[in-house]
Structure 1
């Protein structure tokens, strides 16, 4: 039986390994995470890859927009240099490689579509292509999509009603159940700051999962450990965090305390 809440490594175990790489995803799983959260973009030649930014400047030894570079060009670059640990030479992974990992290790996967600032057809097609592969592989019980662009999630649900979708948000939503129903969402993905008793009550009344994420400074005055503690106490369904090993340990401690076991 899976422990609750699920712990998902944010871009993998990104506190310890280069974000959105197979190394970070494997490490998170080794640390006991139930899965991971990734971000996707498409290359110039249409390959779906995991990367947060729409450029490679911050996370690799190259420069340029993902959409203007071919997959072969990206695979010649180093996405591990500059990270703690021996990760030099880490490669940008394809979505197919990540799905292989999800299958091999029975992981949960949250795919964030980075279309908050892009409303063109390119990103809608990207989500639909990813959803096609989820259904082809029979992974719809393990994979769910999310975006800050709630219109795109509504459109994805129309084209792919069998995939699960979630609405990312930083501040509280008004009348959560009614709002989520307009997009046919299966979940809300609030920042820790937006997880209030009212949020939880409204989400539960609407049969929505609550997959929350920790916030970096200066957006939160709480440490990530403190945020995780509050999210566990709030009863969320999933916690997306940079430090999955710490979250797994906190979850175990909370479960033991609830059971009356001293730890």
Structure 2
């Protein structure tokens, strides 16, 4: 289902695409990890590997909603006739002398995305051993990047991001997803005291995440915390045979 990108193709074809989208100094010292600072940035919880989970196997609300929003992202790409994407481990540059990680990148179809990523995970050790990933396509109009800190970014030009907001159910619905993730999994973003990030003045992973998206950190009421800290709904049932998930 996937096509592994050779070292030569990576250097001459793929890398220029990645360098046009992602800032190479992506952690802690830049305003956000995207070259085009006019792009709107959306915050997401966790990473694309949450698509591995089946909703009916989960009981925590924030994890169920994370599965749903990642599936929506790839459904949205398909609705825009984006049928192939580039996925790579980060950082997205040629390894420096003495740098220990190998480049890995592949072209994968947007459908069936879950099966393809699982195949990469099972067959490609260099992909599986990475802790962060970047996703984009050759149009250079959008990009996704995960972090090892429990959150990810999706960004793009106005047409792309406005389209995703509409596809998901509105700008407020997208933002509320992250707020709910933040309050239910607050420990994920708050454990890290960076000691201050000079370029952005952030003192924690949570502050840095919000700063990069240009969002004000949400201040929760006691009622919101009680309602969303951890919820254990009844596990959902798998769709009946012949029915597709929405």
Q: What TM-score does the superposition give when structure 2 sets the normalisation length?
A: 0.27
Q: What TM-score does the superposition give when structure 1 sets the normalisation length?
A: 0.26
